[in-house]
Structures are given as C-alpha cells and as structure tokens.
Amino acid sequence: MNNVFLVCPDNEQLINSLSGYSLVPVITRVGRIASLQRLANKANTHLHCVIIHSIRPLSSIIFNDEWRSIPIALFVPGIGNISSLMNQVEIMKNQNLRVYLSANKDENLTAARILSSLGVETAIVFDQSPVNWNLLRDLAAYAIYNITAHADIAPFGYLKERYNPVKQINFESLYFNDPEFYLHLDDAGRVALTREEYDRGEFISRDVSELATIRDNIKYLRAIEKWREHFLSFDKCACCPAWKICMGSFQVDEEDYNCRDFFLEIMDAIETMLSRTVEKKIVWQP
C-alpha cells in the first residue's frame, strides 16, 4: 500500500504514524514548507509533494531557494501584480513548482499563458463554475501548438506527453483526485477516496491501521472502476469520441456539448503535432 500517496493535513501526530508512506501534506502558509520537510524526515516518511492553498495572489508570495528540492503544488486565486511577480520569476523557475489557477476567472487563463512563457509550470483547475470555452481553447492551442520554449500548462501538456490513440488517459492525478494514486486522510487518519468525498465527510476507513488493506476495501475497488459506470448507464460521456482523454471528468448536462467539442479539438491538435515531421532547415550556403 506504500506506493499510494497520502494527502493529509499538517498534523504532526498523524504524520508520525505514517512511517514508510509517501505524503502530500496540505497547508495554507508557505512558512511551513521547510518544517514539513524536517518533520517528514524525522517520521521516516517520503515528502512526495506539498499542497499549498493560498488566499494571496502569486505575486505576494516570497519564494525561498531552500525549497528547491521540495515538490510544490501551489493553488492561488490569481497571479496578482505583474511587476512584483517579475522580481521573483528566476527563483520560481528554479523551484520544483506547479501553480494551480482556477478556470472560472478569465484573467487566470491569460495568467497561465504568461507564466508558461516565463518558464513556470501551471495547471488549470476545472471546478463547477462556468468556463469561458473560447479562452480555454486559445490557451489549449498555445500549450499544444507552441514550438517555442515554454513551460507546460496542465492538463494540456500532460495529455500531449502521454497521448496514445488506443489508450485512455486519466488526468485527475494531476489534481490529486485519482484514488488509484492518491488517498485523502483527515486528522484522525480516516481515508476518503477523493477530495470531494473528504469535504462531504465520506470515509471508507476508521483510522491509519486500515491503510495496509485498503486495496481490498470494496468501496476502493468500486472507485477505481467508477469510470465504467458511464458505459453501464450509457450516458453522454459513453458515446463521446473524446472520452479517452477526458474519461468523464466533466459533468455534462443535456444541452451542453462544449466539453465534448473542446476535448475533440485538443485530441485533433495533439494528433496533428505528433504526426508532424520536422525537417532540418538549411540556410543558404556560400
């Protein structure tokens, strides 16, 4: 079971009880990063990543070069002041960092492109809010078609890198929301299969003592096969030609086909780029 990453609160007693596991502590203040590294080492755990949910914009966060070896998933409401941000770009580029921005703000889609061009990896977070599909299409096109140096924008770069025309891709692991790879613990060590179930208080175990056998839990087994339910009920996702790169990540209502068209465009763009043969340019010779 130790090959599953445990998303957990910043709780010293809990972390000390998880020896041998790979952890993803969730914090709200960057000042805790270095302390978590020391705590993880002391507890004989592996710090897979640190999730930071900041209420402050990216430009107001002061990065420390000491964090360079620590993987960071930084969720921010926006990038803030561009001038202030530029003062930290170089140190940000040296971090093992991905910045998460919500798709429900148009300015964040522009911000992701700015950060990508500056060499900072980003991820677009799709929540339940309305999405500006036109801006999202522009961003996806930039991420997939752009052949100049730029940092990845997830999930587009992730899909492009792993695309296989005969296999499906689940990009939910980028958002720590795939129970095959990530489980969510509360302060008592109870396990939830997704962040949504964690927030609703839906747990499948009583404490950390059940972690070793969690793969035998019937609710866990059902969760990792949940994608098959689309085909059993034969809903709109089941007949979507872009299924293999989305796997039903969006909840589609009866009249909304925007996600289908969007992911079809992404799939076509990826196939176009992968089919290109780049010939060496020969400049005139004397």
Structure tokens at 280: 């060496």
Is pLDDT of 255 > 80? no
Task: Give pLDDT tens digits for 61-80.
Answer: 999 998 998 999 999 999 99
Residue 88's closest CA among 50, 53, 57, 123?
57
- Would you list the DSSP string of 52-77? EE-SS-GGG----GGGTTS-EEEE-S
- Cα 199 from Cα 187, distance rounded (Å): 13
* 203 alpha-carbon distance from chain centroid: 22
Task: Give pLDDT tens digits for 123-177.
Answer: 999 886 778 899 999 999 999 998 888 999 999 999 999 999 889 999 999 999 9
Mean pLDDT of the chain: 90
Q: Hey, how many other C-beta atoms are within 10 angstroms of the C-beta on 166?
A: 5
Cα 112–110–115 angle (5° rounding)?
35
Task: Give pLDDT tens digits for 196-207.
Answer: 999 999 999 999
Prior bond of 241 cis (ω within 30°) = no
Q: What pLDDT was estimated at residue 252?
A: 54
Q: What pLDDT was estimated at residue 1?
A: 46
Task: Give pLDDT tens digits for 75-133.
Answer: 999 999 999 999 999 999 999 999 999 999 999 999 999 999 999 999 999 886 778 89
Q: What pLDDT was estimated at residue 53?
A: 97
Residue labelled with tokens 């400049």? 283
What are the start-end ranges of the H helices in 127-279? 133-145, 156-162, 195-199, 218-224, 229-232, 243-246, 258-275
- Cα 134 from Cα 128, distance rounded (Å): 17
pTM, entire model: 0.91
